[in-house]
Amino acid sequence: MTDSPYIIEVTEENFQSVILDGSMQQPVLIDFWASWCQPCQALMPLLAKLADEYQGKFILAKINTEEQQAIAAQFQIRSIPAVKLVYQGKLVDEFAGALPESEVRAFLDKHIPHEASEGENAIEQAYTLLMQGESDQAAVLIQQVLEAEPSNPQAIVAFAKLKATLGDMSAATEALDSLPREEQDKPEVAAMRAQMLFDKVASEAPAIEDLNAMLLADENNSEARYQLAAQLVMQGQLETALEHLLVLMRSDREYEDDAARKAMIQVFDILGGDHPITKTYRTRMFNYLY
């Protein structure tokens, strides 16, 4: 099925050498599949690609459950695709179903150190240059990676970050829109989109001092409160921004088609779903909704 040295078809004859003995040297990722299983057919090329990319940091052992029923029974396989990671003779982790690439990578990276590629190192360096204000040098590095790997999602995100930093939000949005669906769903992409939204609102809004004065004069000034929240986000005062958005959501749900609730979700994207502030304000938001 493949000429890759990192992918092995497993039978009862080589089960001992590949899975039991082999896992004493490096992790073995076992893919249980069958020819009739459509999700298996979707997952197989992804696992093969990752096995080659990781260059022997794990062995991909493929087991056809129709032909190797005894092995499937030994592992108590009841549905496929089923993927199990064995290391030093022990089952250390597993997942079921055809997961997207981002989730499979996360699964692997929990257990298998992945040495950064040249492109990844260049992108990391580009981010450092951007933070130092060296956008021209960062652009050169990002362009080099894109020329070598036009579909590299990390390079595309870095390009979007570069354009957003330079104020070209249209180009940044276009770059993010070009990403595959599974990449667009990643937290860092959602956070970047949120940051771009608040940056746009803040760039068109009065200064924070003026907005505070407007709210002192009229606490029901929905636009001033929304703009103030955006300004606070750009200043890194996310909890205070959420407090203003919560007030706006409670007092004026109709403002800009429920903009306050949508903006709160954008702030959650910036913070991350597990952040304590996110958990607190998500609960408070739901309490107001229902």
**Residue-wise pLDDT tens digits, 75-95:** 999 899 999 999 988 899 999
- What pLDDT band is residue 172 in, cutting at 50, 70 and 90? very high
User: Are 253 and 261 in contact, with CB atoms under 8 Å apart?
Assistant: yes
CATH architecture of 119-177: Alpha Horseshoe (1.25)
Q: Which one, of 27, 57, 63, lies nearest residue 44 by Cα? A: 63
Q: Where are the domains of the chain?
A: 7-109, 119-177, 202-289
- Helical H runs in the chain? 15, 38-53, 69-74, 101-109, 118-131, 135-148, 153-165, 169-177, 181-184, 187-203, 208-217, 222-234, 238-251, 259-271, 276-289
The pLDDT, as a whole number, for residue 124 is: 86
**119-177 and 202-289: same fold?**
yes
What is the residue type of 89?
G
| CATH of span 202-289 | 1.25.40.10
The H-or-E segment that residue 98 falls in is none
Residues taking part in catalysis: 37, 40
* pLDDT one-digit tens code per residue, 23-41: 888 899 999 999 999 999 9
- If one counts every other C-beta atom within 10 angstroms of the C-beta of residue 283, the result is 9
The pLDDT, as a whole number, for residue 1 is: 45
The top-level CATH class assigned to 7-109 is alpha beta
What is the residue type of 135?
S
- What pLDDT band is residue 20 in, cutting at 50, 70 and 90? confident
The pLDDT, as a whole number, for residue 230 is: 96
What is the residue type of 279?
K
Q: Which one, of 217, 246, 212, lies nearest residue 231 by Cα? A: 212
What is the residue type of 67?
E
pLDDT of 151 above 80: yes
Residue 55 falls in which region: left (phi positive, over 0), alpha (psi -120 to 50) or beta? left
The pLDDT, as a whole number, for residue 101 is: 87
pTM of the model: 0.60
Residue with more model confidence, 220 or 185: 220
